[in-house]
Structure 1
Amino acid sequence: MSAIDIRHTHTLPAGKARKAVEQVAKTLSERFDVDYRWDGDTLRFTRSGVDGRIALEPEQLHVTATLGFLLSAMKGPIEAEIRRVLSEKF
């Protein structure tokens, strides 16, 4: 198993940050076929071989994900895509 741990700073108000995280989740859903749901201020996403979350904090996002054996080989591209989308939205 492989893990992704990204901290991304932001300056958006809570409502706008939440909308931006929702857009990130939609992009991940379209690109990687993940399901997602909100649990308070944390967006949880899953699919076969992936279990992760995006915690919405006042001045940063904390993205964590555990990749199963097959997706561990794709850690680099997956992490790069998450960082790219975060940079675009935040």
Structure 2
Amino acid sequence: MSSIDINRRHSLDHDHAREAAEKLAQELSQQFDVNYSWEGDTLQFKRSGVKGHLNVTPDELQVHLELGMMLRPFKSRFEQEINGQLDKLIAQA
């Protein structure tokens, strides 16, 4: 498996940080057909060939994804999309 780890510092309050995480999950769900669900302050992502989570902490959003062999060629696309969405969401909040 190939993994992606992205940590993004933020100065958002808890509700806005969760809202940013939810928006990111919605975008990933639409673009990559990823299912997600909340478990406390952690979003769990899953679909065939991808699993991971996004932790919402008081000062950071922590994304960890594991890509199966078939999706390894798309690793940079996943990273670009996640980084771009996080930049946009944190700047808007």
> Is TM > 0.5 for Structure 1 vs Structure 2?
yes
User: Following the alignment from structure 1 to structure 2, what is the Cα–Cα distance between the partners of residues 6 and 22?
Assistant: 16
Residue 87 of structure 1: aligned partner = 87
Residue 58 of structure 2: aligned partner = 58
Residue 46 of structure 1: aligned partner = 46
* TM-score of the aligned structures, taking structure 1 as reference length: 0.98
Point out where structure 1 has 5 or more consecutive residues left out of the alignment.
none
| Deviation readout 1:38-90 (Å, 9 max, x if unpaired) | 01100011110000100000000110010000101110111110000000001
User: Following the alignment from structure 1 to structure 2, what is the Cα–Cα distance between the partners of residues 77 and 35?
Assistant: 18
User: Following the alignment from structure 1 to structure 2, what is the Cα–Cα distance between the partners of residues 44 and 8?
Assistant: 17
* TM-score of the aligned structures, taking structure 2 as reference length: 0.95
SS at 1:63's partner residue? strand
Letter in 1 for 2:22: E
Q: RMSD between aligned alpha carbons?
A: 0.5
Structure 1 or 2: more helix by fraction: 2
Point out where structure 2 has 5 or more consecutive residues left out of the alignment.
none
Count of aligned pairs? 90
- Structure 1 residue 20: deviation in Å? 1.1
Identity across the alignment (%): 44
